[in-house]
Amino acid sequence: MALLTLDQVSVAYDNQTILKDFSLELEKGKLLSLLGPSGCGKTTTLRLIAGFLEAKQGKFLFGGKDYTRVPVNKRNFGFVFQSYALFPHLSVYDNVAFGLRMRKVKDRDVSERVMRMLEVVNLNGFEKRFPQELSGGQRQRVAIARALVIEPDLLLFDEPLSNLDANLRVNMRVEIRRIQQELGITTLYVSHDQEECFSISDQVAIMNKGIVEQLDRPETIFKYPATEFVARFIGFHNFIEFDERSDAGDAISLKVGGRLFTATANPGTVRPGARKGAIRPDDLIVSGDTGQEAANALPGMIKVSTYLGRSYQYVVETELGDFTANQEMETPYFSGQRVNLIFPQDKLVLVE
């Protein structure tokens, strides 16, 4: 059974519904990310779980108990804020000790646990500093230590890295994953950065306008997006709306206009009824050989060519609209050149 269950919850600010019949499950010891564009309701979900917001409808179960009406301070969840929310009038030590003192832990144990936690986040020696005397990354670590030291049953992160510069972001996310796995702590992580979420999560929930579009392992989502929204969000820039679809064993035949395409049957294509094809620019092959009609090919003309560093990016105009393809090559195609776009069978997915 899942440790955390959101069962059909609805949340509204004033009269505007943000989450409607929202459900989510999270297993003990796992890290689940909520990923989605700004304003899709990620923070709202997190605040609901933390107890800062109340659901209008639905239930929140935690460890088999109904937590829907449990007040924030009785939940024992750690929350790491986007702004860190460190207490500016307290030293690093006192910030981290805050939760333990609320729990009336004895002074000697407080000191031991605070010091151990500062070690975990590599901040030993900083306990006398004040938040404004720390760098962004260090503040972030204090915030994590403060949330972790209370040995929370659940750890909640709201875009914890968005205020850090790019290098530090990568280091910190590795750090967060390391600590999470070391302590085996169940974690819900919110971000709008795809790479960040995919790199550290056991599971990712892609959110859009208050609903979960897909919840899966990151690898699965990356390869087999379930909906057009997810596909677009993770970089499938090319779409074809097929008119007909017929499944026959290992292959799926797809028709559009007079053209026939084939897709391999795999978790990304078997979704019944899905007729919208999607493919990444990296997987689309631009062939200069226009002699004969190859399988899964679509003739077109190079409209725009740009240099990306490792590869060239082409916008190719075809009878089915424009397609974007990235290709590594020595001498690029020129604008106006006739080409064939090849859709590799196993790279074409079908989304809803």
Partner 1 sequence: MKKSAVYWLLLPGFVFLAAFMVIPIVLTIGSTFVQENAFTLDGYLHFFKDPYFLKILLTTLQVSVVTTLVCVVLGFPTAYYISRKAPRRKGILLALAIFPLLTSPVVRSFSWMIILGRKGLINNALVGLGLIDQPLDILYTPAAMMIGLTHLFLPLMIISLVGVLENIDQDLLKAAQSLGASRFTAFRRVVFPLAVPGLVIGAVLVFVGSLTAYTTPALLGGKQRVIATFLYQNAMTLNDWYLASVIAAIMIAITFIVVGVMNRMAKTLNPKG
Binding positions for partner 1, rule: CB under 8 A = 50-52, 72-73, 75-79, 81, 83, 85-90, 98-99, 102-103, 130, 132, 146-147, 150
Min dist. Cβ of residue 100 to partner 1 (A): 9
Chain centroid to CA 309: 26
Nearest Cα residue to 342 out of 272, 276, 289, 269:
289
Under 8 Å between Cβ of 129 and 160: no
Q: How far apart are CA 282 and CA 133, in angstroms?
A: 45
CB of 13 to ligand ADP, least distance (A): 3
Query: Nearest-CA neighbor of 216 among 227, 9, 192?
Result: 227
Site for ligand ADP in 37-96 (CB under 6 A): 38-44
Instruction: Pick from 6, 9, 18, 156 the residue near ligand ADP by CB under 6 A.
Output: 18
103 binds, among partner 1, Mg ion, ligand ADP, none (CB under 5 to 8 A by kind): partner 1
By beta-carbon distance, which residue lies closest to Mg ion?
Answer: 43
Residue number with CB closer to partner 1 (8 or 83) = 83
Give the span between the Cα atoms of 231 and 271, in whole angstroms: 14
CB of 41 to ligand ADP, least distance (A): 4
Residues 57, 44: Cα–Cα separation, whole Å: 14
Least separation in angstroms between residue 72's CB and partner 1 is: 4
40 binds, among ligand ADP, Mg ion, partner 1, none (CB under 5 to 8 A by kind): ligand ADP
Query: What is the contact surface with Mg ion in residues (CB under 5 A)?
Result: 43
How many Å apart are CA 79 and CA 154, to the nearest integer?
9
Nearer to partner 1, 85 or 183 (CB): 85
Cβ nearer to Mg ion, comparing 43 with 238: 43
Continuous H helices in the chain? 42-50, 92-102, 107-120, 136-148, 166-183, 194-200, 218-223, 228-233
Q: Which does 150 bind (CB under 5 to 8 A by kind): Mg ion, partner 1, ligand ADP, none?
A: partner 1
- Which own/partner contact pairs does 117-122 have at CB distance under 8 Å and 24+ positions apart? 117/145, 117/148, 117/149, 118/92, 118/93, 118/145, 120/145, 120/148, 120/179, 120/182, 120/183, 121/145, 121/148, 121/175, 121/179
Q: Does 13 bind ligand ADP (CB under 6 A)?
A: yes
Which positions from 193 through 252 interact with ligand ADP, judged by CB under 6 A?
none
Q: Which helix (H) or strand (E) holds 66?
A: strand 65-66
Cβ 89 to partner 1 shortest distance, Å: 5
Closest to Mg ion by CB, 207 or 252: 207
Rounded Cα distance between 310 and 328, Å, is 6
- Rounded to a whole number of angstroms, the minimum distance from the CB of residue 81 to Mg ion is 10
Residues 95/87, Cβ–Cβ less than 8 Å: yes
Piece of the chain touching ligand ADP by CB under 6 A; list 35-43, 137-145, 312-320, 338-346 = 35-43
Instruction: Identify the DSSP state of 220.
Output: H
Between residues 101 and 338, which has the closer beta carbon with respect to partner 1?
A: 101
Which CB atom, from 169 or from 280, has the smaller least distance to ligand ADP? 169
State in angstroms the smallest separation of the CB of 82 from partner 1. 8
Residues that bind ligand ADP (CB under 6 A): 13, 18, 36, 38-44
